[in-house]
Amino acid sequence: MDSISYYYKTISEKMLQIIDEESENIEKASEIISESLKDEDNLLHIFGTGGHSTMSATEVFYRAGGLAQINPIFFSGVCLENGGRKAVIERVPGIAPMIMDTFIFKKSEVLIVVSQVGINSLTIDAAQYGKEKGLYVIGIESKELCAKVPDDCISRHPSGKNLHDIVDLTLDAKIPYGDSVIEIEEAMQKFGPVSNILLFFLLNSLIIRTIEKLICKGANPPIWKSGNIPGGDEANQVFLEKYSKLVKAL
């Protein structure tokens, strides 16, 4: 089997594993989120707390086919476009509360914290902050990575805790240790990362079920239409007028 076919096969198997093993948690999470978002003034908050994990918040925000009630917590300090090496700031304790203090949270809302590994200081502090504010906190991580990273690893929060130790509910993205899945003798290490593909699949699955549940509850969930097709700007203007007052990033 060639490397690209193996890469496809591995990702497909991981996605099926998410469907088989995480469906119950996806259902529970989407039920809780949909109950919150029945109130049109409530938001679903999402914080991607690592260099590449930040893209999870971007993926579901202001996205054609996605919910308008999503509030991303963007922190430029860990965004790779500001310098890859600077992303190690994710390891510094105490930063998450300073970021999150600039947002408004309600106890009836849900916070999703996304980290492919679920161990760094920004991740753990963000989850703890959400719990202290009375939010229902959902963690998305790789339990395999959490389990295999040594307790004394420099990237761990000083408490040694994992994301799943703090949150109300965990969704496991099934990301393998080290992220990459292609291995050949001539290469110095594995290559072909899968983390963001799996995180995006899991997140969009969660949003899909949330929208379906909102409709079943009699709500009319606000769904963005692509601005690149006719009627998109006009359809989205209604949501922009409402949610630009609530969502800082709009």
Does 36 map to a domain? Answer: yes
Does 248 map to a domain? Answer: no
So what's the pLDDT on residue 82?
A: 77
Kindly state the helix (H) or strand (E) to which residue 113 belongs, with its residue range.
strand 110-114
Q: Dig out the tokens for 69 from the structure.
A: 């009630």
- Rounded CA-CA distance 61/44 in Å is 10
- Rounded CA-CA distance 163/48 in Å is 12
Does 187 map to a domain? Answer: yes
Residues in the chain, pLDDT under 50? none
pTM, whole model, 2 decimals? 0.95
Q: Which of 22, 84, 97 is nearest to 50 (CA)?
A: 84
Does 109 map to a domain? Answer: yes
Using N-to-C axis directions, what is the helix angle for 3-37 and 195-216, rounded to 10°?
30
Does 168 map to a domain? Answer: yes
How many domains does the chain contain in total? 1
Does 89 map to a domain? Answer: yes
Range of the domain at 99: 3-243
Does 84 map to a domain? Answer: yes
Q: Dig out the tokens for 204 from the structure.
A: 């969009």
- Rounded CA-CA distance 86/112 in Å is 24
Does 249 map to a domain? Answer: no
So what's the pLDDT on residue 217?
A: 97
Kindly state the helix (H) or strand (E) to which residue 35 belongs, with its residue range.
helix 3-37
CATH number at residue 13: 3.40.50.10490
Look up tokens 């260099």; give the residue: 51
So what's the pLDDT on residue 157?
A: 86
175 secondary structure, DSSP code:
P
229 phi, psi to nearest 5 deg: -125, 155
